[in-house]
Structure 1
Amino acid sequence: MPEPVLGILTLYINEAKQLEEKAVYRRMIIEGNRMGLDVFVFTPMDVHPSKEQIHALVFDPKSGKWSRKWRSFPNMIYDRCRIQRSTRFQQLLRFRERYKHLLFLNRPLRNKWTIHQTFSQKSRFRQHMPETLLYNASADLHRMLKQSPVLYIKPANGTGGRGILRIERIKNSKGVFDIQGRRQDRRIIPPRKVSASRLDSIVRQWCIGGRFLVQQGIPLRLPGGRFHDYRMLVQKNGQGVWELTGMAARVGAARSVTSNLHGGGHAVRAETLLKDWLGSQDKTDKVMKTAEKLGLDAAAFLEESFGALCELALDLAIDREGKIYVLEVNPKPAREVFARSGDGNTYRKALVRPLEYALWLYNNKGAPASAKTTEE
């Protein structure tokens, strides 16, 4: 009896056909091989335009080498594609539309604004959402500044901490603000003071060419001056059930307003940093338990709202009182936060769980397939 086949769908990051997570895919192929799951990697560019075949990237665990082989379409597809501003992303949208009848482990989620609105419909999640507006004019900015002394301007479709501006009203000053941020290329914008009129102009310029959110800032600055947050990963297990895989803390680089690892941040075990932040083990245990329940509920709700998911990362802000805020969700999460925090067991689990779920899905003939599909 032939082995079930899983195709990992991804995108090249440049014209040289480089892949961002090739080492991760190699590890997943090796793990799949041990489990009786045949795994290969492909992009929409590798699909033959007329034959139902894929010029797949395959890895041989015995020789330790990558090669290309013509393969039939897989039994299941694990979509790892993130948003790009490229013709490659347009190819991806066409692929998803043409082959939407195939069995996908996960479907695309919507943008941050739509997800925020979806969560806000339910009181269960509304209490964990920072105040957020879609930026249309300066009035939106000033309305939010009346409610919160710190705001973040972030792109509705952004990833990796790019294009984020932090604004803080300076105490006891008349209309003076401190701004800092990260450009789309991740370059840090150092702090500077600006007037209210200058702030309006800067934000208008910042938001040209896209949709941006204005979001309440949660106090997350550590005593040393760096910002931090928490990355929680929930995944479906080998029985098709949502389960917490792990949670890690991320501490941003010096002068950075974000905590993303790609922006120079580093990872710490969540329990360690959270205990220092909250001041007691009892508070830490309680918050960790609340966060886990929130993550599992959020994953199930978003899957019900938008279509099939197999994993979800939630970026959480936790204030000094232990209140949890969902900053954003990511259906295509990286896993290196666990490796970098020294939690090798959780890192391996994060790689293996989608494979275990794929086997369960195959053996149950696509049990949770959803009719709802969306595009970013």
Structure 2
Amino acid sequence: MDSLLPDEADVREQRAGRTVLAILTIDDDIQLFRGNRSNFVDLIRTGQSMGFIVYVLTVKNLLLTRSSLKGYVFNEAEDSWQQRLLPFPDVIYNRIPLREDEIQPAVRQKINACRKHPRVTLFNPAFFNKWDLFEWLRLSKLTKPYIPLTRKLVSVTSLERMMRKHSYLYLKPESGKAGKGIMTIKVHAEKQLPYRLRIQENKKSTTYNCSTLHKLWSRIQKQSGNEAYIAQQGIKLASFQDRRFDLRALVQKNQRGQWDITGIGARIAGASSITTHVPRGGMIEDPEKLLINSFNEEQARKLLIKAKNAAVLIAKQIERASGQQLGEMSLDLGVDSVGNMWFFEANSKPMKFDEPHIRQKSLERVFHYGAYLARTKLEKAGGA
């Protein structure tokens, strides 16, 4: 494979004033690198059509002192990935797919080195932690009203205190993804077994009815293992045909480097699921249709505008409070049965949106923001 690599002069010629964006991931012994390959192909095609040089770069091949790096490009004719020598990137887009990959010491070390290095512009440096998100959003009077009451789940006493205020709670792993590990508690004080615990499994949930708080707590501990959890006030979400729904907003930076809404979709909970995530049996729907069904046309229109404004406000506050350079995030927002807006979750590495109009715009925006970052870096260098 190495014999096919061009020399440094070829690489310089190849750049010819074009912006270079590398998609960062990690090595894989079996399949060269990890990550969503079809997403990477879509990114490469979009970037090339917009005049960029785009390639997949692994952490191991990201050598900060080199002017050219070994990266992977997709060969359309052969439908295969090939390694080439490519110019050092102007911008690095972090798409390391899993939290476990990202917390490896060598990976964290490299990302931290990138953040400090004058040559490197990297965005989306890490996955979010759920507890941090709520802490960050509590700091601003503009975003605080969107947050349900949220506490760390540390003891049976703290759980009891929350259940006195709210008879319906969500328990979520701090580092969870796509609804994995979520549980709900409902308290029916009048019943013989007053505590109802539902645990999310693949596309369904299992319910346990517990007679005492201590039995409930030991069942929760057994389920959560040593993982850190948060407890959150349950919200009675608006529903469609007796199934709850929430909104998925995609916010990205635009060509001016400003947060902007790329699109809003909606997800309806699976028939026996406690979350709206599609891998857990959730369904994709048109948000306007669902909101009109729950409210009326005028109110639905106002709620959609409110959701878009809230998403941009929240993204700005997360970036400000995290101290990180972010370029995109997806947000889960809920509307309760009386029309209040709530924030539940943000993902710094959004999955592909299935709505075609959102999908296409989301790919282009990565490069709009990439071009902005490269231009800003050049201006700084010129002005130094």
Query: What secondary structure sits across from 2:44 in the alignment?
Result: helix
Shift of 1:8: 0.7
- 1:22-52 deviation line (CA, Å, top 9, x unaligned): 1111111111111111111122244469967
For residues 302 and 49 of structure 1, the distance between their equivalents in structure 2, rounded to whole angstroms, comes to 28
Q: Does 1:156 align with 2:174?
A: yes
- 1:305-334 deviation line (CA, Å, top 9, x unaligned): 222111121101110111111001111111
Match of 2:198 in 1: 180
Identity %: 25
TM-score, L = length of structure 2: 0.86
**Greater mean alpha carbon deviation, residues 301-310 or residues 33-42:** 301-310
Aligned 8 A contact 1:9 1:79 in 2? yes
Aligned 8 A contact 1:154 1:212 in 2? yes
For residues 75 and 49 of structure 1, the distance between their equivalents in structure 2, rounded to whole angstroms, comes to 12
Match of 1:209 in 2: 226
Aligned residue identity for 2:272? R
For residues 40 and 273 of structure 2, the distance between their equivalents in structure 1, rounded to whole angstroms, comes to 30
Shift of 1:118: 1.4
Aligned 8 A contact 2:163 2:169 in 1? yes
Q: Does 1:118 align with 2:164?
A: no
For residues 241 and 51 of structure 1, the distance between their equivalents in structure 2, rounded to whole angstroms, comes to 31
Query: What secondary structure sits across from 2:175 in the alignment?
Result: coil
Match of 2:82 among 63, 67, 87: 67
Quick one: structure 1 residues 308 and 366, their matched pair in 2 at CA, closer, same or farther if it must change by over 3 Å? farther
Query: What secondary structure sits across from 2:377 in the alignment?
Result: coil
Match of 2:146 in 1: 128
For residues 345 and 125 of structure 1, the distance between their equivalents in structure 2, rounded to whole angstroms, comes to 28
Match of 1:374 in 2: none
TM-score, L = length of structure 1: 0.87
Q: Does 1:227 align with 2:244?
A: yes
Match of 1:78 in 2: 93
Match of 1:257 in 2: 274
**Greater mean alpha carbon deviation, residues 230-239 or residues 204-213:** 204-213
Match of 2:259 in 1: 242
Aligned residue identity for 1:228? F
Query: What secondary structure sits across from 1:365 in the alignment?
Result: helix
Shift of 1:294: 1.1
For residues 88 and 46 of structure 1, the distance between their equivalents in structure 2, rounded to whole angstroms, comes to 18
For residues 233 and 112 of structure 1, the distance between their equivalents in structure 2, rounded to whole angstroms, comes to 18
- 1:91-128 deviation line (CA, Å, top 9, x unaligned): 32122023222111333364111120111122211111
Match of 2:314 in 1: 298
Aligned 8 A contact 2:25 2:33 in 1? no
Aligned 8 A contact 1:103 1:366 in 2? no
**Greater mean alpha carbon deviation, residues 27-36 or residues 64-73:** 64-73
Task: Say how many residue pairs are matched.
Answer: 360
Quick one: structure 1 residues 15 and 48, their matched pair in 2 at CA, closer, same or farther if it must change by over 3 Å? farther
Match of 2:4 in 1: none
Aligned 8 A contact 1:138 1:204 in 2? no
Shift of 1:364: 2.4
For residues 119 and 80 of structure 1, the distance between their equivalents in structure 2, rounded to whole angstroms, comes to 24
Shift of 1:157: 1.1
Aligned residue identity for 1:144? M
Q: Does 1:137 align with 2:155?
A: yes
Aligned residue identity for 2:94? D
Match of 2:377 in 1: 365
Query: What secondary structure sits across from 2:306 in the alignment?
Result: helix
Shift of 1:81: 2.3
- 1:25-82 deviation line (CA, Å, top 9, x unaligned): 1111111111111111122244469967543221245665421223343111011224
Q: Does 1:199 align with 2:216?
A: yes
Query: What secondary structure sits across from 1:336 in the alignment?
Result: coil
Match of 2:71 in 1: 56
Match of 1:31 in 2: 46
RMSD, aligned α-carbons: 2.6
Question: Where do 5+ consecutive residues of structure 1 fail to align?
Answer: 339-343, 369-376
Aligned 8 A contact 1:240 1:360 in 2? yes
**Greater mean alpha carbon deviation, residues 168-177 or residues 289-298:** 168-177
Aligned residue identity for 1:226? R
Match of 2:113 among 81, 84, 98: 98
Q: Does 1:288 align with 2:300?
A: no
For residues 34 and 223 of structure 1, the distance between their equivalents in structure 2, rounded to whole angstroms, comes to 40
Moved over 3 A (4+): 11-20, 45-55, 60-65, 86-91, 186-189, 221-227
Match of 1:319 in 2: 336
Question: Where do 5+ consecutive residues of structure 2 fail to align?
Answer: 1-15
- 1:139-195 deviation line (CA, Å, top 9, x unaligned): 111111111121111111111111111111136325512222225xx4744223222
Match of 1:8 in 2: 23
